[in-house]
């Protein structure tokens, strides 16, 4: 029955006496919404109005008084329960002490949650149906009104006094779960007669805790009360479609607010919650006067992340934090840096403007901006690319065993879009390459449309770096963009109208344009939700090829070779990018990253880059001059993108104050862009004075006309003159309407040559990267040599027979594997494949050696040398000759991937499968200790079969490191395999202990001929600190195992003179003889003759290789 009364009282209209209570009276709703007739308030009776006038002081102005009133820290003494205040007979006079007694006592009443804030002159308007429109002063932190000191607090029938203490503001508990005072309590208290000489208990600014009795302190009362925002509680929260969080289709970005609750909200409440219900994943700042405020869940986040004090006011007596206008930009940047999405609901007019429209006018508000870490275009973004990536997946026919990924990504700061598609297999190697190349800050994808393997790849490759990447699954209804619908949406909305090339040409050139368009549609919908229409309409869109025309390096290879992130802490230290990064300009740094992801396969362009590097290396004066100009350059690419986004921008529709601030920022950006291009053109003009350098650079880059009547230099002078005239003090310039019009005209004229400005930026960036290559070669501690590059085996050279793949490097050293004592790694010679001279050499190298002997370092250094060469950079060696490599495959190290549910052996086999399926004759394959993740015999069998397949079927350049020494016997006489090992030696110990080891193992890190007799694992175990007694026991067990298990490998000893290739030849001859004797043979005489000729050539070639091996 009580529950029914409570529910009915929620809809009961308060009496006029109740409406005329003081603003802090809990019997009146309103919370932070102080009801006046200025913003849609309901007209009360005359008596009610006069009562309000007596009790509510008029505000001085409409500005926010403050958002933070911290409670006192010193606990007060508590009066005894039998204390009686002295009162006069008439109840009018009182002692000085009794006038403040109400600050020290608390009368028992209906239960109140001890964890709730004090009422502080505010209550919940959501529970008051009498207030439909609320004043401008919503969400303000209300102060208790001063009272006459001779007023006493009197109460009847309530005698148990409780202890009172001040506390800090409540910390961030579980959002939305803190109970509040029920409606029933406030309705019952409506009947309490408060006269002018009596003050409500709830007018004080202190919070009170209730206890069961004086003897049990600290024990909170158990209350079962519903929150005034019960639809925010975890047990009741639902999305816009009323789905609960345990529903697979639950949309965490939306919120369901009951219709009856929404109907009873004030206008300002509706402004806030109507937006928040659609942006639950965004921290929303709500503009109130000169303050920005956060409420409820967002207030808790502001309290936790920004250490702001929390008060109870704002939207219906809710939790609130806030900050003034001057501090909002810093607060937004801090939240973005911590990975949050931040939105701003702005006032579209001032309070004076609203009053001018009418006494009951509501100040309109609108969500004008949503910033995320992946779409930020202002502030200190740094030189690294900031990308937002959308991915779609489609399974192809079963016989193809392939998956196609469509993708689209954007750099909002540079105003550039890319779209593309790529085929992949079960290993997700191509998807990994895409993720490593793009390096997104955020990935959006259809969670239901993405396979388990693809989601594992997302988690795997987004965990490789030092910064976290946001994975944002889209609701199913948002992830169903079809290609036709996306085309219509782009056409109707006018997207990409500012692109230098048609968006249709960017899409139509893709092999799988449908899936790519679908991914682009997801990206467009996401950006539209973030209010980034200007980016969509003015952005440049380009096709993106993950592998086309470049050396293929998949995602796992980038991880294994530590291209961008090291394996220690995920940072850039000790990586290829760090070694080559001597760039000065931000655009140069981003171009360097793009070049590293796409090494060239065009010998002509490679040699053009090498020519410029050689010229810069030989001319230190040019290096110095270009460096001086590059230091003056801002981030031209992002500045140009920021200015392009202002063309026909919606910023002019923003409120006056915000629009003025935005225009002031645009003035600064435009002036910085013009001055930056002045430094850039001066740099290019200085380079043109060096005729040879200019000639080489023009072969590599397309440079627009700089001088003359149609040159950019004269064009730029005109803008410099306009800036000096109209914006002389642009840093502190106060923008007027005339200035805004002038700025618009200047920007429109400047953007007419956007293509030429982009070419200038690209040329400067190329010069910066090539200068970085030259510095790396000049300042290197070891030898650096210009590589000599030959075509791949598929190419034909006129009047010259290609002998197949080759990799010949002398004095190779690892560029960033420097020892602790700063000594360079020991240089080694690597020779794989046929040399361009008359000599012939095997393409496969079987490498053995002790643990810690340097095998993995040599393997990585070989791969890095190829990347250096095909980048157009000098190689860390003495001499380098190689034919073009189409793909680099690596299988290095042994580690599991717990986060993606992959065991050590599964990782090995997955990487090996990718090699076997995709490697070609022109590939470079690096396999390190394949098969060690399983049993000895299974591991050896897999290593043997994989190595044999690569040697005899694929025939590519390969380095295969192993501790399975029987393999050296199996392939000792194979004409296509060479055996080498990392040398080591033993040194006698001077401090020999009785019964101890008398020799120390010394690693020489030198590549030597032949196979290593063993891996010396026991010596390495001693070096690692394993007790000598344990190692001694292991030594005895090792000898026993060699005697017993060695019998199984005796056949390998007999294979040293008869390899698997000899077996194939013998089988071929036997097959031919049987075919000749059999009348029903499938081969005719011509086929048999052809087979014999091919076999003869193969034996002859192998014999020549064997002779070379015998001579060496």
Mean pLDDT of 325-351: 89
Encode 119-152 in three state secondary structure.
CCCCCCHHHCCCCCCCCCCCCCCCCCCCCCCCCE
pLDDT tier at 435, thresholds 50, 70, 90: very high
pLDDT surpasses 80 at 992 = no
Q: Counting every residue, how long is the chain?
A: 1112
pLDDT tier at 898, thresholds 50, 70, 90: low
Mean pLDDT of the chain: 75
- Which tens digit of pLDDT belongs to each residue from 574-621? 899 999 999 999 999 999 999 999 999 999 999 999 999 999 999 989
Mean pLDDT of 162-179: 34
Q: What is the pLDDT of residue 645?
A: 83
Burial of 666 (0-12, 13-18, 19+ CB in 10 A): buried
pLDDT surpasses 80 at 1070 = no
Mean pLDDT of 505-517: 85
pLDDT surpasses 50 at 201 = no
Q: What is the pLDDT of residue 628?
A: 94
Cα separation, 467 vs 283, in Å, equals: 21
DSSP string, 82-115: T----B-TTS--B-TTGGGGGGT--B--S---TT
Mean pLDDT of 440-464: 84
pLDDT surpasses 60 at 226 = no
Sequence-ordered list of residues with C-beta below 8 angstroms from that of 112, at least 6 positions apart, any chain: 181, 185, 208, 210, 223
In terms of pLDDT, which residue wins out, 1090 or 459?
A: 459
- Listed in order, strand segments (DSSP E) in 768-923 are 788-790, 806-812, 828-833, 844-848, 879-883, 887-891
pLDDT surpasses 80 at 733 = no
pLDDT tier at 820, thresholds 50, 70, 90: low
Cα separation, 999 vs 987, in Å, equals: 5
Cα separation, 676 vs 719, in Å, equals: 12
- Check if the beta carbon of residue 494 is closer than 8 Å to that of residue 460: no
Q: Report strand pairing: 924-928 vs 957-961.
A: parallel
pLDDT surpasses 60 at 141 = no
pLDDT tier at 1078, thresholds 50, 70, 90: low
Kindly report which listed range (23-27, 284-288, 825-829) carries the lowest average pLDDT score.
Answer: 23-27
- Which tens digit of pLDDT belongs to each residue from 922-934? 999 999 888 777 7
- Check if the beta carbon of residue 298 is closer than 8 Å to that of residue 345: no
Q: What is the pLDDT of residue 362?
A: 86
pLDDT tier at 828, thresholds 50, 70, 90: very high
- Which tens digit of pLDDT belongs to each residue from 659-709? 677 788 888 889 999 999 999 999 999 999 988 999 999 999 988 888 888
Q: What is the pLDDT of residue 431?
A: 92
Share of the chain above pLDDT 90, in %: 32
Segment 319-322 long-range contacts (CB within 8 Å, at least 24 positions apart): 319/117, 319/295, 320/32, 320/67, 320/139, 320/141, 320/293, 320/294, 320/295, 321/67, 321/68, 321/293, 321/294, 322/64, 322/67, 322/68, 322/139, 322/141, 322/288, 322/291, 322/292, 322/293, 322/294
- Check if the beta carbon of residue 636 is closer than 8 Å to that of residue 750: no
pLDDT tier at 1088, thresholds 50, 70, 90: low
Most confident of 464-468, 834-838, 1069-1073: 464-468
DSSP string, 204-215: SS------SBTT
- Check if the beta carbon of residue 225 is closer than 8 Å to that of residue 181: yes
Kindly report which listed range (131-145, 1048-1062, 1096-1110) carries the lowest average pLDDT score.
Answer: 131-145
CB burial readout 119-129, b (16+ within 10 A) else e? bbbbbbbbbbb
Kindly report which listed range (154-168, 256-270, 284-298) carries the lowest average pLDDT score.
Answer: 154-168
How many Å from the N-terminal Cα to the C-terminal Cα in the chain? 102
Helix (H, G, I), strand (E, B) or coil at 1026: coil
pLDDT tier at 900, thresholds 50, 70, 90: low
Pick the closest to residue 268 from 276, 256, 280 (CA basis). 276
Cα separation, 124 vs 227, in Å, equals: 11
pLDDT tier at 1086, thresholds 50, 70, 90: low
- Check if the beta carbon of residue 783 is closer than 8 Å to that of residue 878: yes
Q: What is the pLDDT of residue 786?
A: 96
Helix (H, G, I), strand (E, B) or coil at 882: strand
Cα separation, 611 vs 774, in Å, equals: 11
Q: What is the pLDDT of residue 655?
A: 54
pLDDT surpasses 50 at 186 = no
Residue 152's beta-bridge partner residues? 198
- Which tens digit of pLDDT belongs to each residue from 942-957? 889 999 999 989 999 9
Q: What is the pLDDT of residue 1013?
A: 80
Kindly report which listed range (121-135, 655-669, 769-783) carries the lowest average pLDDT score.
Answer: 121-135
pLDDT tier at 23, thresholds 50, 70, 90: very low
Q: Report the side by side order of strands in the sheet with 924-928.
A: 552-553, 887-891, 924-928, 957-961, 844-848, 977-988, 999-1009
- The DSSP 8-state label assigned to residue 12 in this structure reads P
DSSP string, 529-548: HTT-HHHHHH-EEEE--SST
Pick the closest to residue 483 from 394, 355, 556 (CA basis). 394
Residue 365's beta-bridge partner residues? 347
- Check if the beta carbon of residue 735 is closer than 8 Å to that of residue 551: no
Q: Take residue 478 and report the two structure tokens written for it.
A: 């948002």
pLDDT tier at 409, thresholds 50, 70, 90: very high
Pick the closest to residue 269 from 138, 166, 362 (CA basis). 138
- The DSSP 8-state label assigned to residue 1004 in this structure reads E
Q: What is the pLDDT of residue 134?
A: 38
pLDDT tier at 1073, thresholds 50, 70, 90: low
pLDDT tier at 521, thresholds 50, 70, 90: very high
pLDDT tier at 1042, thresholds 50, 70, 90: confident
């Amino acid at each position: 029955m009580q529950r029914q009364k409570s529910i009915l009282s929620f809809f009961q209209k308060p009496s006029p006496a109740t409406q005329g209570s003081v603003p802090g009276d809990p019997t009146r709703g309103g919370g932070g919404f102080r009801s006046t007739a200025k913003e849609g308030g309901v007209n009360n009776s005359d008596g009610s109005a006069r009562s309000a006038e007596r009790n509510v002081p008029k505000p001085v102005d409409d500005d926010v008084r403050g958002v933070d009133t911290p409670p006192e820290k010193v606990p007060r003494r508590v009066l005894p329960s039998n204390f009686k205040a002295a009162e006069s007979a008439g109840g009018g006079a009182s002692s000085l002490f009794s006038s403040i007694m109400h600050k020290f006592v608390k009368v028992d009443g209906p239960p109140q949650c001890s964890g709730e804030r004090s009422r502080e002159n505010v209550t919940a308007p959501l529970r008051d149906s009498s207030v439909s429109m609320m004043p401008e002063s919503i969400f303000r932190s209300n102060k208790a009104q001063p009272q006459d000191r001779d007023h006493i607090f009197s109460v009847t029938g309530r005698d148990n006094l409780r202890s009172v203490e001040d506390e800090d503001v409540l910390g961030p508990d579980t959002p939305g779960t803190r109970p509040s005072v029920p409606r029933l309590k406030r309705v019952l208290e409506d009947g309490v007669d408060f006269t002018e000489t009596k003050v409500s208990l709830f007018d004080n600014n202190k919070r009170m805790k209730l206890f069961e009795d004086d003897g049990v302190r600290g024990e909170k009362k158990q209350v079962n009360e519903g929150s005034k925002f019960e639809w925010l509680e975890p047990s009741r929260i639902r999305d816009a479609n009323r789905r609960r969080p345990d529903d697979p289709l639950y949309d965490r970005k939306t919120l369901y607010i009951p219709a009856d609750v929404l109907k009873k909200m004030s206008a300002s409440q509706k402004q806030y919650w109507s937006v928040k219900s659609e942006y639950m994943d965004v921290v929303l700042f709500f503009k109130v006067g000169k303050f920005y405020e956060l409420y409820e869940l967002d207030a808790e986040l502001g309290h936790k992340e920004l250490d702001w004090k929390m008060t109870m006011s704002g939207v219906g007596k809710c939790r609130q934090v806030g900050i003034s206008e001057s501090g909002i930009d810093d607060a937004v940047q801090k939240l973005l840096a911590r990975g949050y999405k931040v939105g701003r609901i702005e006032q579209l007019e001032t309070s004076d403007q609203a009053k001018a429209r009418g006494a009951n006018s509501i100040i309109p508000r609108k969500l004008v901006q949503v910033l995320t870490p992946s779409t930020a275009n202002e502030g200190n973004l740094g030189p690294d690319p900031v990308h937002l990536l959308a991915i779609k997946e489609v399974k192809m026919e079963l016989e193809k065993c392939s998956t196609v990924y469509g993708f689209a990504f954007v750099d909002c700061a540079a105003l550039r879009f890319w779209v593309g598609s790529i085929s992949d297999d079960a290993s997700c190697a191509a998807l990994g390459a895409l993720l490593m190349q793009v390096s997104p800050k955020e990935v959006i994808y259809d969670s239901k449309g993405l396979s388990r393997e693809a989601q594992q790849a997302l988690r795997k490759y987004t965990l490789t770096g030092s910064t976290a990447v946001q994975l944002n699954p889209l609701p199913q209804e948002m992830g169903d963009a079809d290609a036709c619908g996306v085309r219509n949406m782009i056409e109707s909305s006018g997207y990409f109208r500012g692109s230098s090339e048609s968006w249709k040409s960017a899409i139509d050139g893709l092999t799988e344009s449908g899936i790519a368009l679908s991914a682009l549609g997801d990206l467009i919908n996401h950006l539209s939700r973030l209010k980034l229409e200007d980016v969509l309409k003015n952005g440049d869109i380009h096709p993106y090829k993950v592998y086309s025309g470049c050396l293929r390096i998949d995602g796992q290879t980038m991880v294994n070779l530590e291209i961008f992130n090291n394996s220690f802490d995920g940072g850039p230290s000790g990586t290829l990018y760090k070694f080559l990064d001597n760039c000065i300009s931000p655009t140069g740094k981003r171009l360097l990253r793009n070049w590293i992801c796409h090494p060239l396969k065009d010998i002509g362009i490679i040699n053009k880059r090498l020519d410029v590097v050689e010229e810069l290396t030989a001319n230190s004066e040019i290096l110095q001059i270009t460096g001086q100009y590059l230091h003056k350059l801002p981030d031209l690419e992002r500045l140009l993108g920021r200015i392009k986004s202002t063309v026909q921008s919606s910023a002019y529709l923003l409120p006056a104050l915000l629009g003025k601030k935005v225009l002031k920022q645009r003035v600064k950006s435009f002036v910085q862009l013009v001055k930056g291009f002045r430094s850039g053109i001066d740099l290019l003009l200085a380079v043109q004075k060096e005729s040879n350098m200019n000639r080489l650079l023009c072969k590599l880059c397309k440079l627009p006309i700089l001088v003359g009547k149609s040159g950019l230099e004269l064009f730029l002078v005109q803008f410099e003159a306009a800036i000096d005239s109209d914006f002389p003090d642009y840093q502190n310039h106060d923008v007027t309407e005339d200035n805004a019009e002038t700025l618009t005209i200047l920007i429109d004229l400047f953007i007419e040559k956007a293509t030429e400005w982009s070419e200038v930026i690209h040329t400067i960036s190329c010069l910066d990267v090539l200068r970085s290559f030259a510095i790396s070669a000049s300042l290197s501690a070891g030898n650096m040599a210009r590589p000599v590059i030959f075509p791949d085996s598929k190419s034909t050279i006129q009047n010259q027979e290609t002998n197949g793949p080759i990799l010949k490097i002398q004095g190779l050293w690892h560029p960033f594997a420097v020892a602790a004592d700063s000594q360079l790694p020991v240089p080694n010679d690597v020779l794989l494949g046929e040399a361009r001279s008359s000599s012939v050499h095997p393409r496969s190298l079987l490498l053995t050696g002790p643990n810690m002997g340097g095998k993995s370092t040599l393997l990585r250094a070989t791969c890095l040398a190829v990347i250096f060469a095909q980048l157009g950079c000098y190689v860390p060696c003495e001499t380098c000759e190689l034919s073009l490599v189409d793909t680099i495959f690596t299988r290095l190290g042994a580690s599991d991937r717990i986060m993606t549910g992959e065991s050590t052996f599964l990782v090995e086999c997955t990487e090996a499968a990718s090699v076997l399926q995709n490697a070609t004759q022109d590939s470079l394959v690096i396999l390190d200790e394949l098969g060690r993740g399983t049993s000895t015999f299974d591991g050896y069998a897999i290593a043997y079969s994989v190595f044999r397949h690569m040697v005899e079927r694929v025939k590519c350049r390969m380095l295969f490191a192993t501790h399975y020494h029987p393999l050296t016997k199996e392939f000792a006489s194979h004409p296509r395999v060479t055996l080498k090992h990392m040398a080591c030696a033993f040194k006698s110990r001077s401090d020999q202990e009785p019964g101890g080891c008398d020799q120390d193992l010394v690693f020489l890190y030198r590549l030597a001929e032949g196979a290593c007799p063993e891996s010396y694992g026991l010596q390495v175990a001693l070096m690692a600190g394993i007790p000598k007694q344990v190692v001694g026991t292991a030594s005895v067990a090792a000898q026993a195992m060699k005697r017993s298990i060695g019998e199984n490998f005796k056949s390998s000893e007999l294979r040293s003179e008869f390899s698997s290739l000899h077996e194939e030849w013998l089988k071929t001859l036997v097959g031919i003889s049987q075919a000749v004797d059999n009348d029903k043979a499938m081969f005719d005489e011509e086929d048999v003759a052809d087979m014999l000729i091919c076999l003869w050539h193969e034996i002859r070639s192998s014999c020549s290789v064997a002779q070379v091996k015998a001579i060496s």
